[in-house]
Amino acid sequence: MKLEFLNVSKIHNRKRQTYDLNEVCTSFVEQKSVAILSVYERSSKSLLKLISGIEQPTRGSIIREGIFTSLIGDSSYFHREMSGEENIRFICKLYGQETNKVIHEIKEFAEIKKELKQKAKSYTPVLRRKIAISTSLLMKSDIYQLNGGLHHPQPKFNNKIQSKLMELTTQSTIVVTAGNPDILKKYASCSVVIDHEGRLQSFNDVQSGIEALKVLKKDS
């Protein structure tokens, strides 16, 4: 896996010359999960979109080698008229996954079978989220993106999510954004802080990042 940001800038507002990210140089390392903290939420969101390749930087370049899926639990790509399985097949094909293997694992992980054959428009929000979370967690990715604590109303499934996430922290890299410091500390081992001008600063632990953000917020 290789993900390097070389002088990456992302302009938020061209007229006011405000930046989400400003001249960022950083690299993400395998099996080292990172907490992303920022003065403005839009900066973290922008960084996540750049990591997954959804957006391109305004200036600078990003060197990427590997698979970088989007946010865990995102189901916005689900098409109402397609079945759950067809939606999973689509996203798996898009990210170069072993489709049949992922579908088989989802059936076991989420304990669902015939629901996957039904059209997505018939899903309850709970089922939809269950399928989306399972798909994100079971697809192979070099970096997993976590926004806030993943919570599901079914306690048994919730426990499965937590243990799978902990498993991923040892096998892969997780970038996590959350308002709750406990979530950041649970999944990440280091942190980056983005200030109000979009500049990024790295820290070797999460606590130092949290404190640096507090100071930045106080100053601004």
Partner 1 sequence: MGAFLKAISVKTRIINALFIHSILTEHGKSKIGYLAALAKPLFQIVMLTTMFTFLGRSPAIGDNLVLFLATGIIPYNLCIGLTNKMLQINKSSRNILNNTLATPFDISIAFLLSETVIILISAATILIGLGHFGYWDYRVDSLLGILLITITSIILGYGVGLLNVSVSAIVPSYEKVWKILSMPLFLMSGVFFVADQRFPAEVIAILKYNPLLHIIESMRDSFYRSWESTLFDMGYLLTFTTIALLTGLLMQKLTQKRQRV
Min separation Cβ 199 and partner 1, Å:
24
* Residues 165 and 187 sit within 8 Å (Cβ to Cβ): yes
Min separation Cβ 211 and partner 1, Å:
33
Minimum CB distance to partner 1 smaller for 32 or for 79:
79
* Residues 8 and 55 sit within 8 Å (Cβ to Cβ): no
Minimum CB distance to partner 1 smaller for 79 or for 214:
79
H-run or E-run covering 218 = helix 206-219
Min separation Cβ 79 and partner 1, Å:
5
CA geometry: angle at 68 spanning 62 and 71, to 5°?
115
DSSP state of 72: T
Min separation Cβ 82 and partner 1, Å:
6
Minimum CB distance to partner 1 smaller for 53 or for 179:
53
Q: Please report, as ranges, the residues that interact with partner 1 according to CB under 8 A.
A: 52-55, 68, 70-71, 74, 76-79, 81-82, 86, 89-91, 93-96
Q: Report d(CA 33, CA 166) in Å as an integer.
A: 11
Min separation Cβ 202 and partner 1, Å:
25
Min separation Cβ 10 and partner 1, Å:
12
Q: Report d(CA 66, CA 141) in Å as an integer.
A: 8
* Residues 182 and 153 sit within 8 Å (Cβ to Cβ): no
Minimum CB distance to partner 1 smaller for 96 or for 153:
96
Instruction: Print burial letters for 131-169: b (CB count within 10 Å at least 16), e (below 16).
Output: bbbbbbbbbbbbbbbbbebbebeeeebeebbbebbeebb
Minimum CB distance to partner 1 smaller for 18 or for 208:
18
Minimum CB distance to partner 1 smaller for 71 or for 150:
71
H-run or E-run covering 61 = strand 59-65
